Amino acid sequence: MMQSVLPAIYPILKSGFDLTFAQVGLLTLTYQATASLLQPLVGHYTDDRPQPYFLSLGMGLTLVAMLALAGAGSFGLLLLGAALLGMGSSIFHPESSRIARFASGGQHGLAQSVFQLGGNFGASLGPLLAAYFILPRGKVSLAWFALVALGGVLISAALGRWRTQSGKARGPVAAHPSDETRALTGGEVRRALTVLVALIFSKYFYLASITSYYIFYLIQRFDVPTKTAQVYLFAFLASTAAGTVIGGPLGDRFGRKLVIWWSILGVLPFTLALPYVSLGWTVALSVVIGLVLSSAFPAIVVYGTELMPGRVGMVSGLFFGLAFGMGGVGAAVLGALADHTSITFVYRVCSFLPLIGLLTAFLPSVERHGAPARTDPAAAGA
């Protein structure tokens, strides 16, 4: 929720600091670059040395970021606040993803979906908070979100204590393949990871066009008020939360690869139509796009952990990091493109990105056919 407030208040920051679209994109790039570059390193470190209290450290940095953004008087201080926000995310996600897997009872896709539901639903609230809380009071009202972050620190500290007392924070996770997956060669693993990186590029480059510029698109093309545009952005983000819930359980039941196929490539007809329809259809199509496209990520994360057993922190850090990184690069590139062309042109170009989903054909099947459902002993112990 706190992370989503930053892009939701871009119209306020753009007018208040006289920012260009390229500077707006640079804000997103700063936040998402710090969130992406550190995550794989944090994940690799905690795979060998689990750190349950990293959750509280990540939330603490988010608290400081909210205060920095609220008091920022220059673009440089805005960049600092965005960087702190990204650092908090990078420290929080790998360890929290590992705890979600331990608590899964063997239903890893469902656990990953529930875990991501919290993040995506919180993210969907950002535009509403911007419209009805921050917009009437100004940027300084961001300081109140430090209290929310403080609550997050206390909750995550309790969760870290539970993890430690359960005995699951001692030593590295054993690296062994699941009974439900087949062993892959080194070449197959490298090829699969390359394809997954390309799919994440497609997904999050496109999502960057929505999360960073959807409000501007609606205002410029349809002349809707800023508050109304923020409500429409909430509708899109809420649909991404719903899609996250769907993707994980479907992956458990029908296989991760099928869900990835359906999600990335299946959204193509809707993205191609979006730049050419009326306001009502634009809102409706954005909801469908969010629902379908977001269902891929839980399947991608679990598929990645099945490619590299025993490296949950590193894999989740890598993919969450790539998600933030691709989104940040996308926001910066698309902002510069919008400055030289138009927001509408940006949406027309991005509409072809889901074609990259064709690369899913090169993913190896990791599930063993007919493998029975199995409860993870570590999860059962937890």
In a domain, 123, yes or no: yes
List all residues 6 or more positions away from 254 whose beta carbon is below 8 Å from its beta carbon. none
Look up residue 21 and give its two tokens. 């679209």
pLDDT 10s per residue in the chain (382 long)? 888 888 878 888 888 899 888 898 888 888 878 887 788 888 778 777 777 788 899 999 999 999 999 999 899 999 999 999 989 988 888 888 778 877 777 787 788 788 878 887 887 787 788 878 888 888 888 889 889 999 999 998 888 888 777 764 444 444 444 445 556 777 888 888 899 988 888 888 888 888 788 988 999 999 999 889 988 988 998 898 888 888 878 888 888 888 888 888 889 999 999 999 999 999 999 999 999 988 888 888 888 888 887 777 777 777 777 776 777 778 778 888 988 998 899 999 999 999 998 898 888 877 654 444 344 434 444 4
- The count of domains in the chain is 1
Residue 166: Cβ within 10 Å count? 16
The answer to whether position 193 is within a domain reads: yes
First to last CA, the chain: 28
Angle between helices 54-71 and 145-165 (to 10 degrees): 170
Positive or negative torsion for Cα 303, 307, 311, 317: negative
3-state secondary structure of 354: helix
Torsion of CA 327, 68, 45, 248, to 10 degrees: -40
Is residue 375 domain-resident? no
Q: Considering the domain boundaries, does residue 218 fall inside one?
A: yes
Long-range contacts of 66-73 (CB under 8 A, 24+ apart): 66/2, 66/142, 66/143, 66/145, 66/146, 66/149, 67/143, 67/146, 69/6, 69/139, 69/142, 70/139, 70/140, 70/141, 70/142, 70/143, 70/146, 71/140, 71/143, 72/139
Q: Sign of the CA dihedral 34, 40, 45, 49? A: positive
Task: Identify the pLDDT of residue 34.
Answer: 85
Q: Which amino acid is at 2?
A: M
Let me know: does 264 contact 144? Beta carbons within 8 Å: no
Residues 259 and 247: beta-carbon distance below 8 Å: yes
- Paired strand residues for 367: 181
* Strand, coil or helix: 181: strand
Task: Give the separation between CA 115 and CA 321, rounded to whole angstroms.
Answer: 16
Which residue matches tokens 């960049």? 79
* CATH number, domain with residue 186: 1.20.1250.20
State the Cα–Cα distance between residues 317 and 91, nearest whole angstrom.
9
Q: How far apart are CA 274 and CA 278, in angstroms?
A: 9
What is the largest distance, in Å, between two alpha-carbon atoms of the chain? Answer: 60
Looking at the domain assignment, is residue 373 inside a domain? no
From CA 316, how far away is CA 244, in angstroms rounded? 15
- 40 burial via Cβ count (<10 Å: 0-12, 13-18, 19+): buried
What is the identity of the amino acid at 190? R
The answer to whether residue 8 sits within a structural domain is yes
Q: Does residue 31 belong to any structural domain of this protein?
A: yes
Q: Angle 14-16-18 (CA atoms, 0-180°, nearest 5)?
A: 55
Q: What are the C-alpha distances in Å from 63 to residues 68, 75, 156, 354?
A: 9, 19, 13, 36
User: pLDDT value at position 85?
Assistant: 92
Cα 142–143–144 angle (5° rounding)? 90
Q: What is the pLDDT of residue 167?
A: 60
User: The domain containing residue 127 runs over which residues?
Assistant: 2-366
- Does residue 330 belong to any structural domain of this protein? yes
**What CA–CA distance (Å, rounded) separates 210 from 237?**
9
Provide the total of helices (H) and of strands (E) in the chain, helices listed first: 18, 0
Q: What span, in angstroms and rounded, lies between the C-alpha atoms of 68 and 60?
A: 13
